[in-house]
Chains A and B, each alone.
Chain A
Amino acid sequence: MLFGLATQGFAETKPLPHPSLIPSANPLCDSTLVPCLDIDDLAAHAYAHFLVLPSTDLRGSGVTIPYGVSMGLFGRLAAGISSHTSVWSIGEERSYSQGPVRFSATLLLYPFFPLRVRPDIPATGEYGSYYVPPRGLRVGLTYDHEWRVGPFDGVNTLGIATDLGTVRLVGTKAIGPFELTASVGALVDTRKQYATGEIAAQLGLYLPGVPALKLSIDAVARGVPAAVQQDFLLGLGDNPIRPQGALGLGVSYRPNARVDFGVSVTKGFGGLAPVTVIVRFLLVSFGKSYDGQAMTSLTQLGTDAAVLGVQRVKEAVENLLHEAASDFPIDPKLDDQCYIRDDDGSIMGKFGTRTAGGGFCEQDGQRVPIGQMLYRDRNSDRLCREITENPTTKLHKLRDCVLWRKGNDWLPAYQTRLNNRCELRDENGEFLGKLGERSNDGTQCRYPVSRNNGGYGTQKDVQEQPVGGIFYTDKDRSTICENPNLTRCFLKPAGGRSSLKLTNIEHGAVGFGTGIDEKAEGATQLGQNLKKLVTGRVHFGPLKEQLVEDVTEAAQTIRDPDKLLEIGKRKFNNLRQGITNWNNKPTGDKFQDAGAFAGTVAIDAAIGAATGALGRTSGELAEGAEKLGKAGKRGKQVEEVTQAVHTAEHAENIHRLGPSTKHAGFRKNYADRSASEIRRGITSLEAQIAEHEAKIANPGKFIPNWSSLDPRQQQALLEKKWPADIARQKEQRDILKGLLGREP
């Protein structure tokens, strides 16, 4: 009715010269030329698109507006009713036409199961949510029936004034960031007076970095073959069904399954509009997938566009022009037999053997998860978990590599990481070396190097590596390099040593040296004592006593007893926190830190240096030795501080430290139990370990609806939770085994 009012004064209806093809009635399809198989679980839509038609030699400029309603059910069936109206000009005359009513249906045939296909939840990326198309092959049928009835009496899509049925077989498959859709169909007059064929295809690219944006190229050809009844042919002229085609280029924005915004341009041939610009944004949706976001208004579009920003799109295009993430083939992964299979199923090589639990392939102590998708470089020399972009050069490079190829062999990549203290540590957390100091902006570790300056000696220079950087070493930790194949190496052990690893005694000595410079004598003895501490043969008692002694000694130099008490408590709290942190560190670090701690205690204990170490750390006043001569006063202070330290709940707090450390409660729980009880505990834990390994190997056996879980859930269980469960249970089992083997 509104359109009738709007078209008052227009010339009588007649066919639009150089018409455009009408887009699919399914607003989840982003192509003008190719139908799609995207269907909602339960949702309905009302939409209108705008097809702008520049002038041609047969008419002036015009516009065609398709509009309709549609709904999707169970991800398998979509149905809709629609029509379209066109207005255009020829000279001063304005004309319009009303297209027939179009009934449309789409049925997803394959995959057969599950019968109810629940679309994936939109993923969330750097720029908001985005639609994730199903990755497997999908096949379906679409049917469009154009019915000329009442005022909807315009010509059909072939430009003929009859009803028309169109059936198409559609297939679609996502490959990496690409999506290919193809269809073959037949356009048949409902009175069987004529028929013709049609083929169409679309290649889409979900833009790397902004996956809600999809670029696509479309093409359609029809009119060949064609069959027309002789009588009907005579009524239409010499060749009423001629070959036609169109090419299209489009971009669509899909934060959800539907197309929130799309623009495409098509170039038509054989009597179709030479150029058509299709704009789609007017869409109202109802359904559980669109709660809270029913309308894709221009305001919403404006907000989204602002968020994305011109710069973002520009960057994305620049990325494409450079070495883009899509240039790195994805999907190589280890199969159950530990063969490395590329995306096309071809075998790239083999790595290790499958672990007993079945979740990993292992070689030389390095494990790589089975089934985890990886990236490879063009030469297939490396397999890595990430791709990163250099913000300056925009070039992409592989990061977090797990395997590299040497000849025909795939070898594990032994990783090291540079932490924010500029320490290089291997995957076990072992300290391998310190790489200078952090830069002023905190992003780099800068370290001095000497360069051979020809015949003029050496030249001092500074190099840097990024904090958080991943580097690579070998099994023996003999070097550290930028690449997994051990090229561009920058750190080697000094002094003829073969490994960067430190022995435990060395760790203790290093820590001791940190605490008191140049006083390493006795470090070996200290290391041996610390070894006893770490291995549990002695406990914190001696350190606690040392603390009491140190503070008591320090008290002799401090005039104010309250300040002494404060110092004593603070030192104790520092000790407590230090022990807690210390217990969570790798064994080597414990030696190192314990050495440093002991050194610090030694400093504090040295009254002569109290104005240095103690004064610097506490900010308290210290008195000179000349004021310590009053034995009575000193004795009173010592007594007060000794009492303070003892009454500061030190002993109880230290006792409490046990449960705050990993498995301390577990150890204590079993400490006094009989051997048979401990053996039962070991058996129970090993059963749990076996169960978790079996879960990783065959999750569907344990999780009833495993195949329908969100892929992120599956990944979290396979790669994080269950492996962490196994690791914890193995630690507990080993504790129990240690208790069984303890000395009586």
Chain B
Amino acid sequence: MSSESSDQALLYLQDLAFLIKARATEAKQDRESRSCKDLAYALGRLMAFHEVISLMQQQATAFGLPLTTLGLADIDPDRDLLR
């Protein structure tokens, strides 16, 4: 992969991580919202984000990538998404 492609991939991953974290935060708020009409669905959605972010972090670690580089260091799915 060329250097340009590597840079693009990194930027893509950083933005993707940001977007997924934002969606996960929304899912958590939905789960805790009083107006949520389908709590089971909200719980399932939140768990899906927990699994995705957890998997991204573990894969990053396995690849030797610092979580800060990917923008994944500021979220702990076990702490922040399990409610």
Where the two chains meet, the residues of A that have a C-beta atom closer than 8 Å to any C-beta of B are 121-124, 129, 288, 291-292, 666, 669, 677, 680-681, 684-685, 688, 702-705, 709-710, 712-713, 716-717, 721, 725, 728-729, 732
Segment of B12-20, B22-30, B32-40, B67-75 in the binding face: B32-40
- Are A669 and B63 touching (Cβ within 8 A)? yes
- Are A684 and B43 touching (Cβ within 8 A)? no
Query: Can you add 12 more A-B contacts, CB < 8 Å, to A292-B37, A717-B82, A725-B58?
Result: A121-B39, A121-B40, A129-B40, A669-B63, A677-B64, A681-B62, A681-B64, A703-B78, A710-B43, A725-B54, A725-B55, A729-B62
Residues of B within 8 A of A702 (CB): 78
Interface residues of B in 49-67 (CB under 8 A from A): 51, 54-55, 58, 61-64
Partner of B35, one of A121, A291, A681: A291
Q: A510 to B70, alpha carbons, bound, how many Å?
A: 47
Q: A291 to B47, alpha carbons, bound, how many Å?
A: 23
Residues of A within 8 A of B40 (CB): 121-124, 129
- Are B64 and A703 touching (Cβ within 8 A)? no
- Are B78 and A666 touching (Cβ within 8 A)? no
Residues of B within 8 A of A712 (CB): 43
Least CB distance from B16 to A in Å reads 16
Interface centre among B39, B55, B62, by most chain A C-beta atoms within 10 angstroms, is B62
The 4 closest A-B pairs by CB, nearest first: A288-B34, A121-B39, A292-B37, A124-B40
Interface majority SS (helix, strand, loop, mixed), chain A: helix
Interface majority SS (helix, strand, loop, mixed), chain B: helix
Partner of B82, one of A123, A124, A709: A709
Q: A669-B63, A681-B62, A684-B61 are in contact. Are A705 and B37 (CB under 8 A)?
A: no
Least CB distance from A475 to B in Å reads 33
- Are B61 and A688 touching (Cβ within 8 A)? yes
Q: A121-B39, A710-B43, A721-B54 are in contact. Are A705 and B83 (CB under 8 A)?
A: yes
Chain B minimum-CB-distance residue to A699:
B78
Least CB distance from A262 to B in Å reads 24
Least CB distance from B12 to A in Å reads 14
- Are B51 and A703 touching (Cβ within 8 A)? no
- Are B63 and A666 touching (Cβ within 8 A)? yes
- Are A704 and B62 touching (Cβ within 8 A)? no
- Are A713 and B47 touching (Cβ within 8 A)? yes
Least CB distance from B44 to A in Å reads 8
Residues of A within 8 A of B54 (CB): 721, 725
Q: A713 to B81, alpha carbons, bound, how many Å?
A: 11
A to B CB contacts below 8 Å, 9 in the list:
A121-B39, A123-B40, A124-B40, A129-B40, A669-B63, A685-B62, A705-B83, A713-B82, A716-B47
Partner of B43, one of A121, A292, A717, A725: A121
Residues of B within 8 A of A732 (CB): 62
Q: A291 to B51, alpha carbons, bound, how many Å?
A: 29
- Are A705 and B82 touching (Cβ within 8 A)? yes
Least CB distance from A285 to B in Å reads 14
Least CB distance from A202 to B in Å reads 28
Least CB distance from B43 to A in Å reads 6
Q: A666 to B64, alpha carbons, bound, how many Å?
A: 10
Chain B minimum-CB-distance residue to A722:
B54
Q: A202 to B19, alpha carbons, bound, how many Å?
A: 53
Least CB distance from B11 to A in Å reads 18
Q: A288-B34, A291-B34, A292-B37 are in contact. Are A666 and B62 (CB under 8 A)?
A: yes
- Are A688 and B35 touching (Cβ within 8 A)? no
Q: A121 to B36, alpha carbons, bound, how many Å?
A: 12
Least CB distance from A589 to B in Å reads 26
Q: A514 to B23, alpha carbons, bound, how many Å?
A: 49
- Are B37 and A291 touching (Cβ within 8 A)? yes
Q: A260 to B61, alpha carbons, bound, how many Å?
A: 51
Q: A728 to B40, alpha carbons, bound, how many Å?
A: 28
Least CB distance from B5 to A in Å reads 13
Residues of A within 8 A of B43 (CB): 121, 710, 712-713
- Are A704 and B79 touching (Cβ within 8 A)? yes
- Are B82 and A729 touching (Cβ within 8 A)? no
- Are A684 and B62 touching (Cβ within 8 A)? yes
Least CB distance from A252 to B in Å reads 22
Residues of B within 8 A of A121 (CB): 39-40, 43
Residues of A within 8 A of B36 (CB): 291
Least CB distance from A40 to B in Å reads 13
Least CB distance from A415 to B in Å reads 26
Least CB distance from B33 to A in Å reads 9
Residues of A within 8 A of B35 (CB): 291
Residues of B within 8 A of A721 (CB): 51, 54
Residues of A within 8 A of B82 (CB): 703, 705, 709, 713, 717
Q: A705 to B76, alpha carbons, bound, how many Å?
A: 14
Least CB distance from B42 to A in Å reads 9
Residues of B within 8 A of A123 (CB): 40
Residues of A within 8 A of B83 (CB): 705, 709
Q: A121 to B39, alpha carbons, bound, how many Å?
A: 7
Residues of B within 8 A of A688 (CB): 58, 61-62
Q: A721 to B47, alpha carbons, bound, how many Å?
A: 10
Residues of A within 8 A of B78 (CB): 702-703
Q: A702 to B82, alpha carbons, bound, how many Å?
A: 11
Chain A minimum-CB-distance residue to B39:
A121
Residues of A within 8 A of B55 (CB): 725
Residues of B within 8 A of A124 (CB): 40
Q: A685 to B55, alpha carbons, bound, how many Å?
A: 13
Least CB distance from A527 to B in Å reads 34
Chain B minimum-CB-distance residue to A720:
B51
Least CB distance from A329 to B in Å reads 28
Q: A293 to B50, alpha carbons, bound, how many Å?
A: 30
Chain B minimum-CB-distance residue to A42:
B34
Chain B minimum-CB-distance residue to A292:
B37
Chain B minimum-CB-distance residue to A293:
B37
Q: A122 to B41, alpha carbons, bound, how many Å?
A: 12
Residues of B within 8 A of A669 (CB): 63-64
Q: A681 to B47, alpha carbons, bound, how many Å?
A: 28
Q: A288 to B34, alpha carbons, bound, how many Å?
A: 5
Residues of B within 8 A of A122 (CB): 39-40
Residues of A within 8 A of B37 (CB): 291-292
Residues of B within 8 A of A677 (CB): 64
Chain A minimum-CB-distance residue to B51:
A721
Residues of B within 8 A of A704 (CB): 79
Residues of B within 8 A of A681 (CB): 62, 64
Least CB distance from A684 to B in Å reads 6
Q: A685 to B61, alpha carbons, bound, how many Å?
A: 8
Residues of A within 8 A of B61 (CB): 684, 688
Least CB distance from B37 to A in Å reads 5
Residues of B within 8 A of A291 (CB): 34-37
Chain B minimum-CB-distance residue to A706:
B82
Q: A124 to B39, alpha carbons, bound, how many Å?
A: 10
Residues of B within 8 A of A716 (CB): 47
Residues of A within 8 A of B34 (CB): 288, 291
Least CB distance from A730 to B in Å reads 11
Least CB distance from A42 to B in Å reads 9
Least CB distance from A353 to B in Å reads 28
Q: A563 to B43, alpha carbons, bound, how many Å?
A: 53
Least CB distance from A601 to B in Å reads 31
Residues of B within 8 A of A705 (CB): 82-83
Residues of B within 8 A of A728 (CB): 58
Q: A288 to B37, alpha carbons, bound, how many Å?
A: 10
Chain A minimum-CB-distance residue to B83:
A705
Least CB distance from B34 to A in Å reads 4
